[in-house]
Amino acid sequence: MEILDPIPTEERKVNHLSEFFIFIGIAMVSIFVFAIIGGLICSNLYGVSLEEISAISTLQMEHPQASKILKISQTFSLFGMIAGALTFLLTTRKHIFSYLSLKKEMHLLYVILSILLVITLLPLVSYVVNINSGIAESLGYSSKNLMGVYELLASSNSTIGFIFSIFLMSVLPAVAEEFLFRGVLQTLLKKWSKSSHLAIIITSLIFAVIHSNPEQILGILLLGLILGYLFELTGNLIYPIILHASNNLLSVIGMKYAEGNKVFEALANDYSPNLFVVLISVLFTSSIFVFLYKTSLKKEHE
């Protein structure tokens, strides 16, 4: 399904490769600036230096307010992503929402399918992550500290705190990352390469590497590909956001209730589906995308 820039390329000469590098530069500067702002706020609130905040963020230093420091830092970093994407679009595009394919109309069926994909993908992604973890561990990599960071971000002592954890780890990352990766980056790469597939693959690779998690990089890459093709076939960024947020929400709930609950503990830490379940997962996921593909073709011919 073609996602068009509302400003015809015939009316302006555009070097999409140059725009790609300009966007990467703006995004990196924006994320860095917002991270510094978040760090300075933490420094004033909790009396820690920027160096100590960096150590706390990698669990190399313990602090009684580590959870709050991590939450503030994470919030500002994610807003940095949004600000970077917006800065680029405001200076290069006239119709931001059209460019991002953030359309007002939403179809209930697509919303349901986006959420359903989280369930159908779970065995497949878990299977890939388990293989990935084994390879990473054999090479000496470990995401133990990173998982500890996630647990601190998900931690809360109240209902309001848990709601904020859901916003911070589910809603905000989905909006920020889909806005930046699928909405802007994938669209730019598609215009440069003239290939939807190449744009989705490159974007997914960058998406996986940015997460800095060697034990789950293949699972994140797979999720990135699914999000990319969902955006391409539906032509609306809201559906990848829904899928992304739902996937993160499942992880937050798993981490929150894993302790003392065998079901959630298995889902969060030790879910190892057998090959038959994985094949069923592939079948149902493929069926959803075949349906989306046929629907997109039908719309193009209307």
Q: Is 106 helix (H, G, I), strand (E, B) or coil?
A: coil
d(CA 71, CA 64): 13
For 165, the domain range is: 9-300
Question: Considering the domain boundaries, does residue 1 fall inside one?
Answer: no
Question: Considering the domain boundaries, does residue 3 fall inside one?
Answer: no
Can you give the pTM of this predicted structure? 0.89
Question: Considering the domain boundaries, does residue 176 fall inside one?
Answer: yes
Question: Considering the domain boundaries, does residue 38 fall inside one?
Answer: yes
d(CA 25, CA 123): 37
Question: Considering the domain boundaries, does residue 4 fall inside one?
Answer: no
Q: How many domains does the chain have?
A: 1
Reading the chain (302 residues) residue by residue, the pLDDT tens digits are: 444 444 444 445 567 788 889 999 999 999 999 999 999 999 999 999 989 988 888 778 888 899 999 999 999 999 999 999 999 999 888 778 777 777 667 899 999 999 999 999 999 998 998 899 888 888 887 766 677 778 888 888 888 888 998 999 999 999 999 999 999 999 999 989 999 999 999 999 999 999 888 888 999 999 999 999 999 999 999 999 999 999 999 888 877 776 555 555 555 555 678 899 999 999 999 999 999 999 988 877 66
Report residue 253 as tokens: 């709930």
Please report how the helices 238-257 and 159-166 are oriented relative to each other, as an axis angle in degrees rounded to 10: 140
Match 């981490």 to its residue by tokens.
255
Question: Considering the domain boundaries, does residue 257 fall inside one?
Answer: yes
Question: Considering the domain boundaries, does residue 2 fall inside one?
Answer: no
3-state percent helix, strand, coil for the chain, nearest multiple of 5: 80, 0, 20
Nearest-5° Cα angle at 29, 27 to 34: 95
Question: Considering the domain boundaries, does residue 233 fall inside one?
Answer: yes
The dihedral sign for the CA sequence 165, 168, 172, 174: negative
